[in-house]
Structure formats: structure tokens, C-alpha cells
Amino acid sequence: MAEAQNIPAGSTTAGSIAVAAESTVATRMSAPPSFDVADFPVPHGREEEWRFTPLERLRGLHDGTAVATGEGVKVEIEAPEGVTVETVGRDDERLGRAGTPVDRVAAQAYSSFEKASVVTVAKEAVLAEPIRIAVHGEGGVAFGHQVIELGAFAEAVVVIDHTGDAVLAANVDYVLGDGAKLTVVCVQDWDEKAVHVAQHNALVGRDASFKSVVVTFGGDLVRIHPRVAYAAPGGSAELFGLYFTDAGQHQEHRLLVDHNTPHCTSNVAYKGALQGQDAHAVWIGDVLIQAAAEGTDTYELNRNLVLTDGARVDSVPNLEIETGEIAGAGHASATGRFDDEQLFYLMSRGIPEIEARRLVVRGFFAELVQQIGLPDVEERLIAKIEAELEASV
């Protein structure tokens, strides 16, 4: 698809590469990171970090009126041998090491959760089976915290599934020891009324590899904020995302890759399809290359395919470079309409409309899906995409 062609009215695909002495990524936030919700003013909606989010649909997560109910969400964790699963209290010192809440809802989650899950993969353990975390909404309000920690040279796949109905604010920490390899597939397959706001913090150890696949289909409002920082040189992070935004849904993915350490790499690729009135997808990709991060290699990409009228995309890649000594840095953002000419061309070859749409949408996501590297997840995503398309006609 050509860059930034056919941008639907009202959408933005601004992008910038700034070469700055001081990071605007940090200064754009209305308050410095903190674990305490009291350190953040209640947002009014014009703040940089909230300006795309419909606050009135957060169900009080942003202003303190959302209060945890007993039957919020049910968390079930299935783990193979070599993994320790614990439920711990607020004072456990393993919590909050991968990152600090950067906005009011994340801080609210950190200030309000009662029990946290800590999943630890022993050092050098190479798991044959994925760790499966099922988070099922039971219709209430919940605050959560999860820690997934891999010891040195451990290798694991974690699949987190969000289903049901809930109002959920959560923080998730991924801590990767030296040389560890972690793949996390985090699926938001909520019922239509759910509200889910989460900050994911990954701290990537020396020569460790972190791969995150964020998949968002459901929910009324989903706002996921994956963040990556590196504890030592040699780390790599791949952040993949896929979303399918239907009528009325707000799906927001904000990313930060903080290249704070030399010789680390990051590769970000998010793709979304939108269909229906008031489908709204927001993608913010902040990549910060700090002065110390020599030898950084990074690329970020966001593509959106708008299938019908009435949908809106805001896509803002932002690359900030504080050192000239890098291996590579780039970004791309493009939003295209499902092209009637493409549809005509395929149909003029006898292909029925629904099948023509399916071909194009499958093609749009195919390259990304193939990079996930987990055949059962890939199959499931393709099936889900097809179901979304099926539902649209």
C-alpha cells in the first residue's frame, strides 16, 4: 500500500523524527511516573496522553470513582513444569521492577490491586508448552498486577487471554534475565461492553529477546500501553500488534521503546483493520534513542486498513534520537481505505464480494501473522479475522 494514501477524513497520520537534546516523550506526559495515583491529576482529556481517549467511557478508572467489586475478573494460570506460580500481596518486592506507571489509570491500578500473580520461569528452563493465563471478566470492576519473570537463559511462551465482560485496569511486568527468550501473546477478545486499560512493562536483560504480540478484537474501550526498556546491552525487542476495530469500538495502542542502553534492537509492527460507524483506532509509537544508546537499531511501522466509511484512525509514530551513533532508525505509518478499485478488479474476475474482501484483508495481515512464529496462534488469529469479516456482511 502506498504511504499515507486515502486518509479517511478527520484522521491523523502525523509523524515526526526529532533530534532533541531532551526527550519530549517524557516531558509530554502531564506528570512524572509514579506508583501512587495521588501523584497524577484527574485527566480532563486535553493532555497529550489522553487526548485521543474518550474519558467518559473509562467507567471511572481515570477519576477514582471506579471501585473494585468482588467478582471482577477470574484469573486462571496453567503452567508446565519448571514454572512457579504464586499469588502474593502488595508488599512483595518483586512487583513493579520492570517499570513505573506513567499515567493516572496505571497508577490507579497499582494503588488499588489487592493480590498479584507472580509467574517465575527457573533459570535455563526451556518450556515445551506455553504458560496460559486466562483472565475472564465476570462483569465487575477489577485492578490487577502480574509479573512474569524469566531467569537467565530461560525460554518461554506466554499466552494471555482476556475474555468476558469487565472494567479492568492492570499492570503487567515482564522481567527477562540475561539471554532469556520470552514470547508473550496478549489477546483482548472481550465482550462488547468491556473496558480494559493496561500498561505492560518489559525489562530486557543482556542479550535477551522479548517478543510481544498484542491482539485486540473486542471491548468497548481497550487501551494498551506496552513499554520496553533494556537492563543491559545486546537486548532485542519485537513488538507486534494486530487489531480489528468494529463499529463504536475504541482501541488504542500506545508504545514506548526506550533505548536507554547501547547495542539493543527493536522492531515494532502494528496493523489494524477498521469497519463500521465510529470505529476508532489510535496508535502512538514512541521510540526514544537516548544519548548513551549507541549502536541502536530500530524500526517501527503502523498500517491501517479502513474497510468502511465512518471509521477513524489516529496514527502517530514518534522517533526521538539523541545520539548520532546508531545502526539504523526508521518509521512508517500508513492508513488506506479498502479500495473500491481493488474490489472491482477482484470481482471482475468472478470473485464474490465477501471473498474479495477476505482476500485483501487476509493479505493485509498475512505478513505480520507469519512473524508470530507460533502456528496455533497464527491459525487462531486468521480464523478470528475471518469471523470478524463474516460478521460485517
Report the interface residues with another protein, using CB under 8 A: 1, 339-342, 344-353, 355-356, 359-360, 362-367
Give 188's strand partners. Answer: 162, 216
CB of 151 to another protein, least distance (A): 40
Residue in the structure block whose three cell numbers are 502506498: 2
Residue 136 or 362 with smaller CB distance to another protein:
362
Residue 91 or 348 with smaller CB distance to another protein:
348
Residue 367 or 390 with smaller CB distance to another protein:
367
Please, are residues 25 and 4 in contact by the beta-carbon 8 Å criterion?
Answer: no
Residue 367 or 379 with smaller CB distance to another protein:
367
CB of 8 to another protein, least distance (A): 18
Give the residue among 65, 66, 62, 68 at the shortest CA–CA distance from 40: 62
Please, are residues 170 and 143 in contact by the beta-carbon 8 Å criterion?
Answer: yes
CB of 352 to another protein, least distance (A): 5
Phi, psi of 184 (to 5 degrees): -120, 125
CB of 362 to another protein, least distance (A): 7
CB of 366 to another protein, least distance (A): 6
CB of 244 to another protein, least distance (A): 15
CA 209 to chain centre: 17
Give the residue among 329, 332, 357, 327 at the shortest CA–CA distance from 343: 357
CB of 380 to another protein, least distance (A): 20
CB of 36 to another protein, least distance (A): 46
Residue 68 or 346 with smaller CB distance to another protein:
346
CB of 226 to another protein, least distance (A): 25
- Alpha-carbon distance of 342 to 225, in angstroms, equals 34
The letter for the amino acid at 346 is L
Residue 40 or 364 with smaller CB distance to another protein:
364
Residue 274 or 319 with smaller CB distance to another protein:
274
Please, are residues 302 and 253 in contact by the beta-carbon 8 Å criterion?
Answer: no
Residue 201 or 335 with smaller CB distance to another protein:
335
Residue 54 or 363 with smaller CB distance to another protein:
363
